[in-house]
Chains A and B, each alone.
Chain A
């Protein structure tokens, strides 16, 4: 991703989320767990670099890769090829 600011938000793919809950430990101000332990994001845009970096940590902490960043037109933002480089064996 070229810019580290702008209209970027975290989204959670509910069909992937298994409720590990690590994301909510890494980024409790933006990600919470619902009554059943599944991740719920607030959907507000990420505006500063610090928040973006924390979001990236939360995203890469997810064992089932249920989280992603989306850009202005709802397109998935690549994390410098991190998604592609994750070894298959780590995907549950």
Chain B
């Protein structure tokens, strides 16, 4: 299965010219479809478009395929296999808000998606489609570099640092121009919604979260990094049995990314894999990561490993993140080394609570989610460690992936 060519793309879905309509009509279709962003926050795409179209200045479209989650693969896979769908989506977004520039923000180091997007642009030029307004920009390999304000900061010529602005990027972004930062999957959906209509789109998914959803399976599954399209109401257990190759409930699942939520396997197995339903349980589907922990691995040791990496991914701007995350990491390291008492765990919870909601971006809060859900989920493991049992965060074969340099630093 390789990258889809322009000829095959047009044969399958029709050319972009066949669906040109007015900006207002395009935005109305998006509004009617109920399409929500697939980068993690789930913001209504139509609202973003309306804000950008109404704001002063010519808007810019950013295709965010930087996918900073180490275990997530949906955006890079989409870019690799269906580059024309994303390019169509970007052109439609540009038409919807009156933008004349498109930036594709992705990792050149991911060679297959880099080759696919370069080839797709060459095919378009050969077919006489204008691509002079599309720029490819290599994203820094940092966890927070894909956060909207960090993207805007980087493309504006500064570091990829999250900022806390009074106005959203869709209103005031790169060079004070309205900047629509859309996740790559969102734009792929847009390309299909514009072709087949809002009703077609909401035939799958749920009324509250219409459309299909891409998820990535990681950890102890048949194919780590496998991307699955979820069409309708289905439990996590069914997905893991069906495509994950699991025949029994796992120990636990980390849902939504490394700053997501640990859920015990028993609970997760019967939980519907659906953004809106999970939200009502206080769980974010985030970037759609479903990472499976087998019962041979200590969840607290795995948490310690992720935590130590995440603490180092702070952009270094906010004190509560710079000083707070290493402290949380140290507490969890002590737990898995069997050096902690109950009072240390209580202090860990207090410190974690004091970091929640702080800082210019969601990074510290996300780390707190990981820590608190780990303490809630791995209670038996915690008790064993309180009695002095020692775990090593660095052994075991089914670790969740981290970027290679982080592994080498250890």
* Chain A complexes with chain B: yes
Residues of A within 8 A of B (CB): 13-15, 17-19, 34-38, 40, 43, 68, 70, 74-76
Q: CA A37 – CA B320 in complex, angstroms? A: 9
Interfacial chain A residues near B323, Cβ < 8 Å: 35-36
Quick check: B321 and A14 within 8 Å, CB to CB?
yes
Quick check: A17 and B166 within 8 Å, CB to CB?
no
- Pick from B167, B319, B321, B323 the residue with the most CB of A within 10 Å: B319
Quick check: B166 and A14 within 8 Å, CB to CB?
no
Measured CB to CB, the closest approach of chain B to A56, in angstroms, equals: 17
Q: How many A-B pairs with Cβ below 8 Å?
A: 53
Quick check: A14 and B324 within 8 Å, CB to CB?
no
Interfacial chain B residues near A76, Cβ < 8 Å: 166
Q: CA A68 – CA B388 in complex, angstroms? A: 47
Interfacial chain B residues near A37, Cβ < 8 Å: 319
| B243 located at the interface, meaning its Cβ lies under 8 Å from any Cβ of chain A in the complex | no
Q: Which of B162, B166, B320, B359 contacts A36 (CB 8 A)?
A: B320
Interfacial chain B residues near A40, Cβ < 8 Å: 320, 354, 358
Quick check: A34 and B358 within 8 Å, CB to CB?
yes
Quick check: B166 and A38 within 8 Å, CB to CB?
no
List the 4 shortest-distance A-B pairs measured between CB atoms, nearest first: A14-B318, A15-B317, A38-B319, A15-B360
Interfacial chain A residues near B358, Cβ < 8 Å: 14, 34, 38, 40
Q: Mark B63-74, 1 if CB is under 8 A from A, else 0.
A: 000000000000
The secondary-structure label for the interface of chain A is loop
The secondary-structure label for the interface of chain B is loop
Q: Which of A38, A68, A70 contacts B320 (CB 8 A)?
A: A38
Q: B324 — nearest CB in chain A belongs to which residue?
A: A36
Q: B163 — nearest CB in chain A belongs to which residue?
A: A15
Measured CB to CB, the closest approach of chain B to A78, in angstroms, equals: 11
Measured CB to CB, the closest approach of chain A to B77, in angstroms, equals: 33
Quick check: A15 and B318 within 8 Å, CB to CB?
yes
Quick check: A34 and B354 within 8 Å, CB to CB?
yes
Q: CA A15 – CA B316 in complex, angstroms? A: 8
Quick check: A13 and B360 within 8 Å, CB to CB?
yes
Can you spell out 23 A-B residue pairs with CB atoms less than 8 angstroms apart? A14-B319, A14-B320, A14-B321, A14-B359, A15-B163, A15-B164, A15-B318, A15-B359, A17-B319, A18-B319, A19-B319, A34-B319, A34-B355, A35-B323, A35-B324, A37-B319, A40-B320, A40-B358, A43-B357, A68-B166, A70-B166, A74-B166, A75-B166
Interfacial chain A residues near B163, Cβ < 8 Å: 15
Q: CA A14 – CA B317 in complex, angstroms? A: 7
Q: CA A73 – CA B355 in complex, angstroms? A: 24
Q: CA A36 – CA B162 in complex, angstroms? A: 21
Q: Which of B164, B167, B320 contacts A34 (CB 8 A)?
A: B320
Interfacial chain B residues near A18, Cβ < 8 Å: 319
Q: A19 — nearest CB in chain B belongs to which residue?
A: B319
Interfacial chain B residues near A70, Cβ < 8 Å: 166
